[in-house]
Amino acid sequence: MAMTMTQKILAAHAGLDEVRAGQLIKAKLDMVLGNDITSPVAINEFEKAGFTSVFDKSRISLVMDHFAPNKDIKAAQQCKQCRTFAHRFDIDNFYDVGNMGIEHALLPEKGLVGPGDCIIGADSHTCTYGALGAFSTGVGSTDMAAGMATGEAWFKVPSAIKFNLTGSLQKWVSGKDVILHIIGMIGVDGALYKSMEFVGEGVKTLSMDDRLCICNMAIEAGAKNGIFPVDEVTMEYVTGRFDRPVKVYEADPDAEYEKVIDIDLSSITPTVSFPHLPENAKTFDEIGEVVIDQVVIGSCTNGRLSDMAVAAEILKGKKIAKNVRAIVIPATQSIYMESMKLGYLETFIEAGCVISTPLCGPCLGGYMGILAEGERCVATTNRNFVGRMGHVESEVYLASPAVAAASAIAGKIAKPE
């Protein structure tokens, strides 16, 4: 039976020769991930079930990134519970203040996930790692608890949509514009419980950071996962990071897809998703004057070094508009350090930005950038639901780092020139 790339990975981890869409399987896991919000719930379920050991202390990652450094007493209690659990079971991959990063940037950077892996995380954007040729998906905290104890999880095998990419991106256009364009095309439920499989000649023109961004937002189209084939770009990224054997799975030529969507990358222009859904994607020929109060450049979607580089290029020698607050959040300590060495942080500060330690913070309305009633923010984050970044009558506009930086200077949503 012909299978997609995702189906082949799931079949291998279930110990089966083949699987088909809709089939229920139990698969072995290569990594189980949790953060400071979801892990405490999983730990409670773990203890309630009477588990007394974890399946593999090297295959569990706990990252304190949402409310750490602790923003309040509740956040402090949650992180303490995670620290206690990590110490009890001697978890190898526990990341706290000082050595943490935003989870979905940190795990690939550390080489904890890689091609051919089967990964679950108690965070919906765990689908990020499909950029490396892995099957990765978000789950609930109860599934995380079971995964930590048994090293296995149940899945319904997803059907797939093939996105055939051709051409290459224009200047100031990035993976963020690509995925906003796609979500604008198919809607927030356009790939509901499906695998978004990206193929075609255009793939080789996309950087790893572009791919990580695209897969990160697969969930915003309702997808179970997003996935790219393993190629030279992938291998260059994982070499020297990922120390387990690389397993490459390729879709069969006659694999079955629910539909095939052709995307010419060269036709995509800077794109902004208007409130209050990622599917409300608009290009600059559709955007009028939208005055803003805040800009956030960072998150698990767009806090990587290339994102910092683009923002710094645009902000170099410029000043943030008078009534705009600009917050820049490098996604990991390594990215922070490299940004410092390359002069990006100096550029941001001279422009009038504030630089944060790596954290999720404002993306989910946690802290470090909460919006008041009526305020508008251009953010390189992944969601713009009602109240996502603060007051229910605030507005979040999703955009690339290039658009965010240009908007910070203009004081309104602006196209990078």
Mean pLDDT within 175-198: 96
Split at pLDDT 50, 70, 90, the class of 417 is: confident
Q: How far apart are CA 126 and CA 400, in angstroms?
A: 20
Question: Quick check: 87 pLDDT over 90?
Answer: yes
Question: Quick check: 400 pLDDT over 90?
Answer: yes
Amino acid 219: pLDDT: 97
Edge-to-edge strand order for the sheet containing 194-199? 225-227, 194-199, 159-166, 259-264
Cis before 69? omega within 30:
yes
Residues in the chain: 417
Helices (H), 293-370: 299-302, 305-315, 333-341, 344-351
Question: Quick check: 240 pLDDT over 90?
Answer: yes
Question: Quick check: 60 pLDDT over 90?
Answer: yes
Mean pLDDT within 40-64: 97
Mean pLDDT within 158-176: 97
Amino acid 231: pLDDT: 97
354-365 pLDDT, tens digit per residue, is: 999 999 999 999
302-312 pLDDT, tens digit per residue, is: 999 999 999 99
Amino acid 171: pLDDT: 95
Strands, E assignment, 157-273 = 159-166, 194-199, 225-227, 259-264, 271-273
Going along the chain from its start, the domains and CATH numbers come out as 5-264 (3.30.499.10), 271-410 (3.30.499.10)
Mean pLDDT within 34-58: 97
Residues sharing a CB contact under 8 Å with residue 58, sequence separation 6 or more, in sequence order = 92, 93
Q: What is the percent of the chain with per-residue pLDDT over 90, rounded to a whole number? A: 98
Rg (CA), the chain: 20
Q: In DSSP terms, which residues pair with 35 in a beta bridge?
A: 63
Cis before 87? omega within 30:
no
Closest CA to 409 of 296, 299, 289, 315: 315
pTM for the model: 0.95
What angle in degrees, to the nearest 10, is found between the helix axes of 401-410 and 305-315?
30
Instruction: Phi first, then psi: give them for residue 324, nearest 5 degrees.
Output: -115, 135
Yes or no: say if 227 and 134 are a contact pair by the CB < 8 Å rule: yes
88-118 pLDDT, tens digit per residue, is: 999 999 999 999 999 999 999 999 999 999 9
Yes or no: say if 319 and 349 are a contact pair by the CB < 8 Å rule: no
210-231 pLDDT, tens digit per residue, is: 999 999 999 999 999 999 999 9
Helix-then-strand count for the chain, H and E: 13, 18
Question: Quick check: 53 pLDDT over 90?
Answer: yes
Q: What is the percent of the chain with per-residue pLDDT over 70, rounded to a whole number? A: 100
Q: Determine how many CB atoms are found less than 10 A away from the CB of residue 322.
A: 7
Burial (CB count <10 Å: 0-12, 13-18, 19+), residue 323: exposed
Mean pLDDT within 368-374: 95
Strands, E assignment, 88-210 = 93-95, 118-121, 135-138, 152-156, 159-166, 194-199
Task: Output b/e per residue, 360-398; b: 16+ Cβ within 10 A.
Answer: bbbbbbbbbbbbeeebbbbbbbbbbeeebbbeeebbbbb
Q: Residues 282, 287, 292, 294: is their CA dihedral positive or negative?
A: positive
The encoded tokens of residue 108 equal: 């690939």
Question: Quick check: 1 pLDDT over 90?
Answer: no
Per DSSP, 412 falls in state: B
Q: How far apart are CA 391 and CA 332, in angstroms?
A: 28
